[in-house]
Amino acid sequence: MENGEVGKTYFWNNKVRKKIESMNFNGKQYTTIYMSLYGISNLEEISKKIFIETTQLMDKNLRKYMISHNQTSIPEYAKTGIDMANFFGVTQNGDKVDYGKFFATDDKVLCFDDLERANVDVIDILGYINNFVEHDHIKTIIICNEKELSTKLKSSNLEMKTFIATYLLDKEGDLSDVTDKPMVEKIQDKIEYVFDKANDYERIKEKLIGETFEYAPEFNYIINGLLMRYETNPELIRFLRENTQLIIFTFNKSGTKNLRILKHALNDFKKIFEMVNKNYPNTNNRVLQTMLIFTIAVSFEIKAGKITKEKFVNIQDNEEYKSILVSSRVLMDNRQFYIKEFDSNYYYNFKAEYRFFKFIEIYVRTRIFDMKVFKSNMEVIIKTVDTDKLPAYKRLLTREFWKINDDQFEAMIKEILDDVKKGNMELINMVKIFAYFNYFVKKNLISYDIKSLKTTFFNGMNLSALHSSYCDNVTEELDRIAVGEPDQNIEEVLRYFNELNKQLQDKMYNEKANEIFACIPMKMEQFYDRFDKECMDIPIFKHYDPFQMFQRISCASNEDIVTIKEKLINRASMYQKEIEPEMKNIKKLKQIMDDYTKNKQDSIKLVMLKDFSKELGNILSLYKTSTSKAKKQDIVEDI
Cα–Cα dist 245/250, whole Å: 9
- Backbone φ and ψ for 15, nearest 5 degrees, come out as -125, -65
Residue 164 lies in a domain: no
- pLDDT for 548 equals 95
Residues 368, 436, single domain; the answer is no
Burial of residue 444 (CB within 10 Å: 0-12, 13-18, 19+) is exposed
- pLDDT for 433 equals 92
Counting the structural domains of the chain, the total is 4
Report the interhelical angle of 427-442 vs 406-422 (nearest 10°). Answer: 140
Burial of residue 152 (CB within 10 Å: 0-12, 13-18, 19+) is middle
Q: pLDDT averaged over consecutive 10-residue blocks of the chain (639 residues)? A: 60 83 80 83 77 57 62 50 51 49 67 84 82 80 78 60 67 64 69 57 70 71 80 90 89 82 92 93 87 94 69 84 68 61 86 88 92 92 65 77 82 94 94 91 92 95 94 78 76 94 94 95 94 94 95 94 95 94 95 93 93 95 67 45
The DSSP code for 86 is H
Residues 235, 375, single domain; the answer is yes
Residue 634 lies in a domain: no
3-class secondary-structure state, position 183? helix
- pLDDT for 152 equals 61
Measured on CA atoms in the order 91, 95, 98, 101, is the torsion positive or negative? negative
Residue 374 lies in a domain: yes
Specify whether the CB–CB gap between 138 and 107 falls below 8 A. no
* Contacts (Cβ under 8 Å, ≥6 apart) of 458: 493, 496
What single-letter amino acid sits at 361? Answer: E
Residue 637 lies in a domain: no
- Backbone φ and ψ for 109, nearest 5 degrees, come out as -125, 120
- pLDDT for 271 equals 95
- pLDDT for 168 equals 67
Residues 570, 476, single domain; the answer is no
Residue 111: enclosing H or E segment and its boundaries? strand 108-113
Residue 419 lies in a domain: yes
Task: Give the residue from 133, 152, 171 where a domain finishes.
Answer: 152
- What residues make up the domain containing 445? 401-506
Residues 360, 243, single domain; the answer is yes
Residues 262, 329, single domain; the answer is yes
Task: Give the residue from 452, 474, 506 where a domain finishes.
Answer: 506
Closest to 297 in 3D by CA, of 351, 338, 252: 252
* Contacts (Cβ under 8 Å, ≥6 apart) of 435: 481, 483, 484, 490
Specify whether the CB–CB gap between 87 and 10 falls below 8 A. no
Cα–Cα dist 113/72, whole Å: 15
Residue 635 lies in a domain: no
| Strand-pair partners of 141 | 111
Residues 473, 333, single domain; the answer is no
CA distances from 142 to 111, 129, 508, 583 (A): 6, 9, 67, 76
Residues 11, 125, single domain; the answer is yes
- pLDDT for 76 equals 44
Other CB atoms within 10 A of residue 308 CB: 10
| Strand-pair partners of 112 | 35, 142
Residues 367, 268, single domain; the answer is yes
Residue 259 lies in a domain: yes
Cα–Cα dist 426/420, whole Å: 10
Residues 121, 12, single domain; the answer is yes
Residues 493, 523, single domain; the answer is no
Specify whether the CB–CB gap between 590 and 583 falls below 8 A. no
Residues 10, 69, single domain; the answer is yes
- pLDDT for 465 equals 95
Specify whether the CB–CB gap between 346 and 297 falls below 8 A. yes
Residue 353 lies in a domain: yes
Residues 31, 137, single domain; the answer is yes
Task: Give the residue from 387, 418, 435 where a domain finishes.
Answer: 387
